Structure 1
Amino acid sequence: SGLTILQTASNPFIVRLGNEESAAARIAFMGLLNKAAGVLAPIVFTSLVLSGLPDVNQESLNAMPQEVKATLINDMSVSLIQPYVAMAIALGVLALVFMRLALPAINDEQAKDETLKTPLSSSKDKKILHFPHLVLGAISLFFYVGGEVIAGDTIGLYGSSIGVENATTLTSFTMIAMVIGYAVGLICIPRFISQQTALLSSAVLGVVFTTSILMSSNTDTGISEVLWGWTGVQSLPFLPNSVTCIALLGLANAMVWPAIWPLALNNLGKYTAQGSALLIMGIAGGAILPMVYGGASELVGGQSAYAIMLPCYCFIAYYAVLGCKKQRW
């Protein structure tokens, strides 16, 4: 709830803080900081929670006697307490900082004037659902957040199910890919590509990587060897191709959120706050679609279940090409 309120306020603020054509780049900068923490968090939590415990994955847990398994899971649960207490303290300190931080003001009167100038808002009875590009943007965010959560959160479960060691750290690979994607967006938008082009490119990459997951091997590590084998970093393990493709979805997902927000909030003017609240509801996709993936994985297997993301990326592509331009239902 707290993060939802924070996002509702921060995203339109960043969009309207400067030129609208470069809004995606500003949100991408926010994403760089956000996902950099996303890279570090699984590593730090793994070291805190699993320190002193044997290397475990789903296969090793299933092979344990029931009493030993119950004891191990209890020990892991107890070790979660201190990290979450520390996180709560950090958030409290952050709240105190924001109370004393002088943020620049946004001119609401200018936004109202812009709304009155656009034919979309000629009616006094205009409702927030009367803006097609906003509603379709919220649906796109629903599919995007669902896809992002599936890519980030199931990679560890999937890796564990096929016996990948240290599977709890695999989320960091997805986050690293997202950080790279944010950096590319920060550099390229709007210098070389528009926000709309960035969104379409992201959707196409999503389709390509999802298709690759479905067709890739669970034993061959050729893709990861090509991508980071040349670095010589011993701490970077070579991953099965299917797992590597899941991680690469982070690259496809990176610029979707930054690009949709300015496109969906375009010309909303005085309706911007309501529009932001509607867009934030798209986060529900991160709760619903992973459950769909879970149900599908029980029916057709974890690898084949990733096919549910294909229609998600196809809808995002539709929004990038046509939906963001739609002025009337």
Structure 2
Amino acid sequence: MWGFITVMNDILINTFKGVFNLSPTQRALIQFSFFGAFFIISLIYYLISSSKGKDPINKIGYKSGMAISLLICGIGCVSFYGAAHLNSYNAFLFSLFILASGVTLLQICANPYATILGKKGSESSRLNLAQGFNSLGTTLGPIVGTILIYKVFSTGELTAFSISKTYLAYGIIFIILAIIVKFSNMPSFQNNEKIGSGAGVFKHRQLTLGVLAIFFYVGSEVAIGSWIVEYLKDENIVGMSEENASYFLSFFWGGLMIGRLMASYALNSELSKQRKYLSMAIIGLVVFMGIYLVTGIKMDAGSFAFSPIEFSKIAMYIAFIALCFVAFIIGDGKPSKSLVVFSCINFVLLTIAVLAKGQLAFIVIISTGLFFSIGWTNIFSLAISNLGKYTSQGSSLLVMAVVGGAILPLIQSVIIEKVNVQTSFIIPIFGMLYLIYYGLSGYKPAKIIEE
């Protein structure tokens, strides 16, 4: 649901255009409101933690923190219904802010929770497994969202209520999940150790440079997810219809799922190479076929039909899955090395996307998702490594850096208005350059002198 609700922003960018007649810059406020909440809420969390000397999540426990976060997500989704009655774009943006506040707190709780819930040394593997299911949500989100908004809750004309009813359903699911988590048997992991007031956490070089890495990683990924439909629709690049372009968005987000599930094996030091490689190959092909079949589900005249994309149009995607497999072998199970390899590949793919036309432009832009897959988990695990009592505080700073998802798409929207959509993809290229630096040098801790 966390991945599902985040990728719904990409659908909103296009649906709100029709409802409120918005410019690219106004549409970019969707991502700005959503990811801006990450910055504001994480900053508040950090200030409370650093001034009081006690971390809120450590005090109440990770399980309770996740339950509260899910409840706030539910409230944000339900508030969409009120925004529809007001028929106000600004009210929808405020609802998004509430929703994103819940997702922000969920990030602060869930990411470190996954790293400490198991053996030391395989943190990246666990995070990638968790993020693989997050990516299942981001893959299904565009498909389910498109069907619900345009078919199920639409009365023949796209309205604000088509959107609000969809989010009302999501809100109910979030509230149910909050109850399930609260009464589950998961360990709480409370920690009452005093972390001290001040900015001691910033003594950790891998964290401070990791904050910038998360900024550029999330900003680049969201920038592509936000404008890929616009890219594919452009008659001078690919020239697809909006509906078809929205379906291919699932291959971009599906690439993250494929890569993350492959990474859960590739970065697991407890597995033999033979088992790793076999599992990765099977996952890559099986998940690809799953995405291919799911994107073939259409809804017309009130009933579902199966009309898959012509396989020849997407067959080349398999070659990029194979390249992803090779990239994992070169990365050799090391998070820093893998980050460099994957970012270098995306640097090349995005450069081609800025220059190419037609089928080549189409296949390279949707394939970038495969090589974004390990970015979040590898950066996060490298950045919070050896933080000890500062782990939750460091997590809040990393989540604060998700504001890159608000800023880079907005910068890209200005380039789209002033130049064109293809040139705007130079923005994530700069992001890849910083990730390459972080994987080569930025992740290495400096020697810390304890207070």
Q: Quick one: structure 1 residues 30 and 164, their matched pair in 2 at CA, closer, same or farther if it must change by over 3 Å?
A: same
Distance 1:53 1:90 in 2: 17
Distance 1:78 1:169 in 2: 22
Which residue of 156, 173, 181 maps to 1:98?
A: 181
Provide the secondary structure at the position in 1 that maps to 2:184: coil
What CA deviation, in whole Å up to 9, does each residue of 1:10-39 have, x standing for no partner?
A: 111111222343111111111111111111
Equivalent position of 2:337 in the other structure: 197
Query: Residue 21 of structure 1 contacts residue 194 of structure 1 at CA under 8 Å; is this kept in 2?
Result: no
Which shows bigger deviation, 11-20 or 250-259?
Answer: 11-20
Provide the secondary structure at the position in 1 that maps to 2:240: coil
2:369 partner amino acid:
G
1:266 partner amino acid:
S
Q: Show the 5 A alignment for 1:257-276.
A: 257-276=376-395
Query: Offset of 1:104 from its aligned partner?
Result: 2.3
Q: Would you say 1:144 and 2:187 are equivalent positions? A: no
Query: Residue 131 of structure 2 contacts residue 260 of structure 2 at CA under 8 Å; is this kept in 1?
Result: yes
Query: Offset of 1:279 from its aligned partner?
Result: 0.4
Query: Residue 126 of structure 2 contacts residue 264 of structure 2 at CA under 8 Å; is this kept in 1?
Result: yes
Which residue of 329, 333, 349 maps to 1:209?
A: 349
Which shows bigger deviation, 152-161 or 83-92?
Answer: 152-161
Which residue of 233, 243, 246 maps to 1:168?
A: 246
Query: Offset of 1:174 from its aligned partner?
Result: 0.6
Equivalent position of 1:179 in the other structure: 257
Query: Offset of 1:82 from its aligned partner?
Result: 1.6
Q: Quick one: structure 1 residues 22 and 75, their matched pair in 2 at CA, closer, same or farther if it must change by over 3 Å?
A: same
Distance 2:126 2:153 in 1: 42
Equivalent position of 1:153 in the other structure: 226
Query: Offset of 1:212 from its aligned partner?
Result: 1.6
Which shows bigger deviation, 86-95 or 11-20?
Answer: 11-20
Distance 2:162 2:230 in 1: 20
Query: Offset of 1:255 from its aligned partner?
Result: 0.2
Query: Offset of 1:126 from its aligned partner?
Result: 6.0
2:255 partner amino acid:
A
So what's the TM-score if we normalise by structure 1?
Answer: 0.79
Distance 1:19 1:150 in 2: 35
1:258 partner amino acid:
T
Provide the secondary structure at the position in 2 that maps to 1:322: helix
1:85 partner amino acid:
L
Which residue of 189, 194, 202 maps to 1:129?
A: 202
So what's the TM-score if we normalise by structure 2?
Answer: 0.58
Equivalent position of 1:68 in the other structure: none
What CA deviation, in whole Å up to 9, does each residue of 1:53-98 have, x standing for no partner?
A: 99xxxxxxxxxxxxxxxx98x6243311221110000001000101
What CA deviation, in whole Å up to 9, does each residue of 1:253-272 have, x standing for no partner?
A: 11011101111011110111
Provide the secondary structure at the position in 1 that maps to 2:121: helix
Query: Offset of 1:204 from its aligned partner?
Result: 1.0
Distance 1:246 1:151 in 2: 8
What CA deviation, in whole Å up to 9, does each residue of 1:165-222 have, x standing for no partner?
A: 22222321111111111122112104442111221122112211111211221x2x2x
Q: Quick one: structure 1 residues 298 and 40, their matched pair in 2 at CA, closer, same or farther if it must change by over 3 Å?
A: same
Q: Quick one: structure 1 residues 126 and 53, their matched pair in 2 at CA, closer, same or farther if it must change by over 3 Å?
A: closer
Structure 1 gap segments, 5+ residues each: 55-70, 116-122, 222-240
Which residue of 425, 431, 434 maps to 1:315?
A: 434
Number of residue pairs matched?
Answer: 281
Query: Residue 153 of structure 2 contacts residue 165 of structure 2 at CA under 8 Å; is this kept in 1?
Result: no
Query: Offset of 1:140 from its aligned partner?
Result: 0.3
Query: Offset of 1:287 from its aligned partner?
Result: 0.5
What CA deviation, in whole Å up to 9, does each residue of 1:102-139 have, x standing for no partner?
A: 21254848x99xx9xxxxxxx99761222111011011
Query: Residue 230 of structure 2 contacts residue 421 of structure 2 at CA under 8 Å; is this kept in 1?
Result: no
Query: Offset of 1:328 from its aligned partner?
Result: 5.8
CA RMSD of aligned residues (A): 2.6
Query: Residue 104 of structure 2 contacts residue 399 of structure 2 at CA under 8 Å; is this kept in 1?
Result: yes
Q: Quick one: structure 1 residues 100 and 133, their matched pair in 2 at CA, closer, same or farther if it must change by over 3 Å?
A: same
Provide the secondary structure at the position in 2 that maps to 1:21: coil
Q: Quick one: structure 1 residues 247 and 146, their matched pair in 2 at CA, closer, same or farther if it must change by over 3 Å?
A: same
Equivalent position of 1:231 in the other structure: none
Q: Would you say 1:4 and 2:104 are equivalent positions? A: yes
Distance 1:256 1:276 in 2: 15
2:224 partner amino acid:
A
Query: Residue 36 of structure 1 contacts residue 176 of structure 1 at CA under 8 Å; is this kept in 2?
Result: yes
Q: Show the 5 A alignment for 1:102-121.
A: 102-106=185-189, 108=191
Query: Residue 265 of structure 1 contacts residue 276 of structure 1 at CA under 8 Å; is this kept in 2?
Result: yes
Which residue of 257, 266, 277 maps to 1:188?
A: 266
